[in-house]
Amino acid sequence: MISEAEQIKRELREKVKPEKIPFMKRILATPFEVLGVMTPDSREIAKKYKNLDIYEVYNLFDELWNSNIHEEKSLAIHILQQYKKQFNLETWKFLRQRLNKAVTWDHIDYLATDIFAEILLNNLFLMSEIKEMANSRNFWERRLAIESTMKMIKKNKIELTLRLAEKLIYDDNVYVQKGAGWMLREAGKKNRTMIREFIMMHLDMKPQAFSYATEKMTELRKLRKEKLFGEENEPRTT
């Protein structure tokens, strides 16, 4: 009898689309092997494992997360995402101890905006840890820190996002810049005036942060054109 992890790996290989591999490698910039399994197919497999004991989930997560195959690591997250009602401080600690193996923007984004964000929203004292992570030497942790404010933003609690953004919109790493700009854009959906004023006070922010932050602000179209197209900037990627 094969283990659940081995069964999952077999199911993944039934969904491979080799023609998607070059595209996925380019978009994800992953150091791991890519099978060519698209996210909807991965999530469909995950649905088969939504009635496990939470400790079974943690064990399954580790078996998949320690893989050198990108989609197996993704599926570890997709399975855990289904256990929202059981997220707690133990989940937070469990994932923090494993962040060293999160080295692509998609894995960081899944973890931050869904799992870490949910736990933070329900345990606001963790804001102190988020602030520490925003100062991490690991740029992926810095991106995760500000993206973990996503669910607070949706509840119109944007103070932490702004506090983190004050530093991270000037970060030297482009992935951090984009994450910070993205969260400002999301916050702008809740308080457009406040975010516009924040942007105007920080017009010297990194171009990628500015690009993401102002994407939906049509009233800044002229300024956006001057700043983004009047300078030499690398193309936007995720």
Q: What is the DSSP secondary structure assignment for residue 234, as one 8-state letter?
A: P
154-166 burial code (b ≥16 CB/10 A, e <16): beeebebbbbbbe
**pLDDT value for 2:** 82
**pLDDT value for 65:** 98
Q: pLDDT by residue for the chain (238 residues), tens digit each?
A: 788 999 999 999 999 999 999 999 999 999 999 999 999 999 999 999 999 999 999 999 999 999 999 999 999 999 999 999 999 999 999 999 999 999 999 999 999 999 999 999 999 999 999 999 999 999 999 999 999 999 999 999 999 999 999 999 999 999 999 999 999 999 999 999 999 999 999 999 999 999 999 999 999 888 888 888 875 444 455 5
Give the gyration radius of the chain's Cα atoms. Answer: 19
The torsion defined by the Cα of 136, 160, 128 and 170, in degrees rounded to 10, comes to 20
Q: What count of other Cβ atoms lies within 10 Å of the Cβ of residue 35?
A: 20
CA dist., res. 184 & res. 121, Å (int): 18
**pLDDT value for 235:** 44
User: Going by C-beta distance under 8 Å and a sequence separation of 6 or more, which residues neighbour residue 61?
Assistant: 76, 77, 79, 80, 94
Q: Which domains are assigned to the chain?
A: 1-86 (1.25.10.90), 104-238 (1.25.10.90)
pLDDT in tens, 57-105: 999 999 999 999 999 999 999 999 999 999 999 999 999 999 999 999 9
| Single-letter amino acid code for the residue at 57 | V
**pLDDT value for 232:** 47
The Cβ-side half-sphere exposure at 155, using a 13 Å CA radius, reads 13
